[in-house]
């Protein structure tokens, strides 16, 4: 897994490449928490290059979302591959996370 | 025909990717569809993650033994550890409506495997039995 | 640290792709460069192909046991079979200038592995020992 | 491995996709022999999508070449990926096989 922190029109984007599993998710957690500690109001996660996610990766995002909600922040996902979308749907998390097709779409919302 | 593959890995999370590769490879060699392979891969990862987290409590230099046996009828896998004994009543995921971190692994395993069972005969450690039926009888 | 992975596969050529995936996965997990992983993958494939062809003479339901052990210093692998006993003198590739089909496998193995040895202590079957040193001492 | 038999300007092209190993090479051999049995004068092999080749795959091509030489046929390779080219070079087969960058280049020779 590789994490790239990108700025898109002043918004913080976490672009993840590769597999998110119990081995790599602590690094993702660190990136996410570095933003939530600063109470960044809006964080977008680019899923386009995510090849795999397991429950530890999902737990990391649920934890991040819970923290952001305490300060009124928004966590947006975009570019989720089909297989991963199915897992979110099965876990009933498609109703919990804000999910968009693209960064432009996320930005407009 | 002898179609079984046996693998021992250390209980370190970095080996989960190796487990996924092996699982996918065995699925492919036996002609399973990509979507089923994806589901099985996730389930096996979750089962091994659970052994690392719960049975071995994060100790990374213990052993996990996986035995795959694939026939036309079923994809069978047993996962053995020498960690703390667990019983079936404690192997429960969270309520899916109760959104919080954790508690999804067992759901992902049961989503694809028809049989999810602990071998009661195992004296020390645990042997989890996972079976997915590939055809209706 | 316990860094060893043990795998048993059937002696059927369709499992060679599984062996390649495992080998590549173990290389990656241990931080080897992609080019070295590619070379090791080919060598391990060739060694297993040879067991299938020569030690087991094409029988596809026998067992091949692979033990990987990676440290900072070396990538070590032993390959065991229960087939016809072989001796080192017969493990020779063809002259590279003498172009004909076959006889390249051993060359591909020796190209990347520093040690290529049979364990003399093994009573029945064969145990091939392959070691690649990763750093100069 | 997957094999596609293509005609390019009346020339026979064997386009191989995936891994050529001891399991898949018999299928490659069959394709090649179906042409050599008909004494097809010129066969080109498209390596662009070959992800892997081992000694059994190489043996198959050496065998094909030997047969083609008996009737004055030509076996041409093109689009060989870097890693595979290294193996041919190591095996001193880069001097034995006709190797080109592209099908156009092979055709012009
Ligand atoms: N291999 C195991 N050994 C011991 N306990 C386990 C094992 N697998 C699962 N459990 C128990 O089942 C619970 C639910 O597991 P799971 O759904 O994977 O969620 P999580 O691991 O995130 O808690 C765990 O919290 C644990 O108590
Ligand atoms: N595992 C093995 N068991 C028995 N004989 C072997 C084994 N590996 C190699 N050999 C011998 O070494 C020779 C050269 O092997 P290799 O270079 O792989 O070429 P090939 O297998 O194409 O003949 C083989 O022909 C065989 O006689």
Alpha helices in C13-132 (DSSP H): 16-29, 34-50, 105-112
Structure tokens at B8: 């021992």
- Enumerate the domain spans of chain B: 2-133
CB-CB neighbors (< 8 A) of B61 in chain C: 1-2
Query: What is the residue-averaged pLDDT of chain A?
Result: 97
Above 50 in pLDDT, residue C137?
no
Residue A10, pLDDT score: 87
Residues whose CB falls within 8 Å of the CB of residue A20, separated by 6 or more in sequence, listed in order? A1, A28, A50, A52, A53, A54, A56, A57, A60
Closest partner residue to C9 (CB to CB) among B5, B8, B9 is: B5
Average pLDDT over residues C79-92: 95
Q: Specify whether domain B2-133 bears CATH 3.30.565.10.
A: yes
Residue C1, pLDDT score: 61
pLDDT tens, position by position, A19-39: 999 999 999 999 999 999 999
CB distance C91 to ligand 2 below 6 Å:
yes
Query: What is the residue-averaged pLDDT of chain D?
Result: 97
CB distance C54 to ligand 2 below 6 Å:
yes
Specify the DSSP class assigned to residue B14: G
pTM assigned to the model: 0.95
Above 90 in pLDDT, residue B98?
yes
Kindly list the partner chains of chain C, i.e. chains with 3 or more CB atom pairs below 8 Å: B, D
pLDDT tens, position by position, C28-38: 999 999 999 99
Q: How far apart are CA D41 and CA A14, in angstroms?
A: 56
Q: What one-character-per-residue DSSP string does A97-109 give?
A: SEEESSHHHHHT-
* CA distance readout (Å), A77 to A16, A19, A23, B104, C92: 11, 16, 22, 20, 57
Q: Which ligand is nearest to the CA of B101?
A: 1
Above 60 in pLDDT, residue B137?
no
Alpha carbons within 13 angstroms on the beta-carbon side of residue B95 total: 2
Average pLDDT over residues D50-56: 98
Structure tokens at C21: 């995936």
* CA distance readout (Å), D34 to C100, D24, D40, D48, D61: 20, 16, 9, 22, 13
8 Å CB contact of C26 and B8 = no
ipTM, 2 dp:
0.94
- Enumerate the domain spans of chain A: 2-100
For the domain D2-100, what is the CATH code? 3.30.750.24
Above 70 in pLDDT, residue B75?
yes
Residue D109, pLDDT score: 85
């Amino acid at each position: 897994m590789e994490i790239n922190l990108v700025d898109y029109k002043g918004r913080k984007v976490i672009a993840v490449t590769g597999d998110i599993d119990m081995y790599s998710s602590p690094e993702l957690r660190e990136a996410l928490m570095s933003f939530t500690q600063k109470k960044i109001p809006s964080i977008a996660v680019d899923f386009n290059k995510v090849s795999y996610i397991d429950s530890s990766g999902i737990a990391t995002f649920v934890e991040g979302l819970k923290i952001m909600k305490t300060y009124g922040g928004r966590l947006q996902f975009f570019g989720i591959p089909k297989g991963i979308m199915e897992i979110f749907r099965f876990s009933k998390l498609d109703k919990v996370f804000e999910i968009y097709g693209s960064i432009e779409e996320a930005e407009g919302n | 025909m002898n179609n079984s593959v046996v693998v021992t890995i250390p209980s370190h999370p970095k080996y989960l990717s190796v487990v996924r590769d092996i699982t996918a490879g065995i699925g492919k060699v036996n002609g399973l569809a990509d979507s089923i392979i994806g589901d099985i891969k996730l389930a096996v990862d979750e089962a091994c993650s659970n052994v690392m987290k719960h049975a071995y409590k994060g100790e990374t230099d213990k052993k996990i033994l996986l035995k795959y046996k694939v026939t036309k009828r079923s994809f069978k896998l047993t996962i053995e550890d020498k960690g703390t004994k667990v019983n079936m009543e404690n192997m429960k995921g969270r309520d899916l409506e109760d959104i919080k971190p954790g508690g999804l692994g067992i759901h992902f395993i049961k989503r694809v495997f028809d049989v999810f069972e602990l071998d009661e005969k195992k004296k020390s450690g645990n042997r989890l039995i996972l079976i997915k039926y590939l055809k209706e009888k």
